[in-house]
């Protein structure tokens, strides 16, 4: 084999090696922590009510821990990428922690919670996969803000990210998916907290419980 041909083969082998590096036939497991938004007003709202955050409805139709596939250099599925717990729990915790960072008293909602502010959500997309020679991650969450069981705001938010695979480790998948989630909530949280604040400030305040009664002129003295 001449040197020119060997050089060409070597150059063509690099992307295959990078994509296939470390790709033994075993599942990657990822542990997630809440992702902080970088685009949010953190002014504390000391008078805000409790905001109940429901567990998202996961409609992806797959294993609730599923994230994506590990593939070899030929694009063949060799293993799975899985979270160590259902990913909807990660989404719920991310929403709660970001609302708390914005000054809201956010808590996990019970299934029967209807009164006050409730945030329901639907997880329509959350994955990280390899396409060609690149990681592709996508997070899509539909938010429903309810005030006393009435939907006052709803919108779909999406975040994407990509990166070049090196060893296809769990950490690489995790980093790309974290970036996609951050991109998603960086758009979501400013709008959601602004809507919460607007609803709060435009509500009609109840009458004071301390009322001074003025006796009428025809009121008689007790015997």
In tens, the pLDDT along 30-88 reads 999 999 998 876 555 556 679 999 999 999 998 999 999 998 878 888 999 999 999 99
Give residue 218's pLDDT. 45
**Out of 1.10.1740.10, 3.30.1330.60, 3.40.50.10610, 1.20.58.110, which CATH number does the structure's domain 52-201 have?**
3.40.50.10610
pLDDT, tens digit, 9 for 90 and up, residues 203-216: 655 544 444 444 44
Euclidean distance between CA atoms 75 and 52, whole angstroms: 43
Euclidean distance between CA atoms 96 and 105, whole angstroms: 9
The position carrying tokens 């996969």 is 129
Euclidean distance between CA atoms 204 and 92, whole angstroms: 30
C-alpha atoms less than 13 angstroms from C-alpha of 69 in its C-beta half-sphere: 11
Q: What does the DSSP assignment read for 107-133?
A: EEPPTT--SSEEEEEEEEEEEEEEETT
Domain ranges of the chain: 52-201
pLDDT, tens digit, 9 for 90 and up, residues 6-28: 445 444 444 444 444 444 578 99
pLDDT, tens digit, 9 for 90 and up, residues 100-144: 999 999 999 987 788 899 999 999 999 999 888 899 999 999 999
Give residue 133's pLDDT. 87
Cα 152 from chain centroid (whole Å): 20
Give residue 143's pLDDT. 98
Q: Inter-axis angle of helices 87-101 and 170-202, to 10 degrees?
A: 50
Region for residue 167 given its phi and psi (left: phi exceeds 0; alpha: psi -120 to 50; beta: otherwise): alpha
Other CB atoms within a 10 A radius of the CB of residue 111 amount to 6
Does residue 181 register a pLDDT over 80? yes
Give residue 205's pLDDT. 52
Q: Read off the tokens for 52.
A: 């109940």
């Amino acid at each position: 084999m001449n040197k020119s041909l060997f050089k060409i083969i070597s150059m063509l082998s690099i992307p295959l090696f990078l994509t296939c590096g470390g790709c033994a036939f075993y599942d990657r497991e990822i542990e997630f922590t809440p992702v902080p938004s970088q685009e949010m007003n953190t002014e504390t709202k000391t008078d805000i009510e409790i905001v109940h955050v429901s567990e998202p409805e996961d409609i992806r139709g797959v294993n609730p821990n599923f994230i994506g596939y590990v593939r070899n250099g030929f694009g063949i599925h060799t293993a799975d990428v899985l979270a160590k717990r259902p990913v909807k729990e990660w989404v719920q915790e991310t929403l709660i922690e970001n609302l708390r960072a914005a000054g809201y008293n956010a808590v996990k909602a019970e299934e029967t919670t209807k009164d006050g502010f409730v945030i329901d959500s639907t997880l329509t997309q959350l994955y990280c996969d390899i396409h060609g020679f690149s990681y592709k991650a996508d997070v899509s969450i539909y938010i429903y803000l309810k005030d006393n069981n009435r939907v006052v705001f709803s919108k779909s938010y999406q975040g994407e990210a990509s990166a070049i695979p090196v060893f296809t480790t769990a950490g690489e998948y995790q980093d790309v998916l974290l970036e996609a989630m951050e991109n998603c909530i960086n758009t979501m949280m400013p709008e959601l907290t602004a809507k919460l604040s607007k609803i709060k400030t435009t509500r009609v305040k109840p009458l004071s419980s301390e009322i001074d009664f003025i006796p009428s002129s025809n009121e008689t003295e007790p015997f």
